[in-house]
Amino acid sequence: MPLTSNLPRGFISPLTPSFRPSLTGLARNLAFAGALALSLATQPGRGAVIFDNLSAPLPNGASNISNTQHVAQAFTTTATDFVLTAVSLRLYNQSGTTGSYELQLWDNGGASGAPGTQVGAALYTGLAESLSGALVSVTGLNRTLAANTTYYLLATGRSLTDDVSDPSDPITGSLAWNMTDTLSTGSYVSGDSGANWTGPFPYSGYMKIEAGPAGASVPDAAGSPATLGLILAGLAGLRRRLRP
């Protein structure tokens, strides 16, 4: 039976069967669009390159990394780009080493600007047996640092062990970080887990550091133009559907 117009004041008639599916479809489309916008808006940005010597000529050697030997390479944030978003370095395995290693961030609070203390949790933990000699890249970071400040990317072993045939003669494993004298900002080495440092040396570890401005590495999805645009478009469509 069709709906009549003789309804009490303030009474809202139910949706007709023919309209209900279309409104359900619209709601489904709006939900999908919103989820898509949220996904796109929350992708971390790679940021600007604030240090990069990966294209330097052939290495001038390497610094060894073990469970007790740290190797640290300096970089400096800028006035605008100080939210760390990605790090890359040339790190490779030696002598069939197995076990885990870490990439850490340290401040410059040591003597004469040497590495001082670790800043926050480790940036990355990896396995030595997974190193193939290719570039190690860690992306999707969102570590806010101080502007115009020097920090250190540090590599160290956590449970490195050489693959030796004689188990009665274990040898602490080691990795190697390629070094170059091109674009050198000075590297430091500590043989006692960071208690004392030697350096700066006139060469740098091969690496690239990327950073962005505050608030740009992980945008606020709720207020992003993509999300607001999709929501407004959906509301406009809903208004057209509801218009008599």
The pLDDT assigned to 130 comes to: 93
165, 119 contact by CB (below 8 A): no
Secondary structure of the chain: what % helix, strand, coil (to 5)? 20, 30, 50
Report whether pLDDT(232) > 70. Answer: no
Query: CATH: 1.10.110, 2.60.120, 2.60.40, 1.10.150. Which one for 48-212?
Result: 2.60.120
User: How many Cβ atoms are within 10 Å of 234's Cβ, its own excluded?
Assistant: 17
Using a cut of 0.85, tell me whether the model's pTM lies above it.
Answer: no
**Which helix (H) or strand (E) covers residue 40, if one does?**
helix 20-41
pLDDT band at 231 (very low <50, low <70, confident <90, very high): very low
Q: What confidence tens digit (pLDDT) does each residue in 81-110 have?
A: 999 999 999 999 977 899 999 999 999 999
72, 196 contact by CB (below 8 A): no
The structural domains of the chain, with segments of one domain joined by +, span 48-212
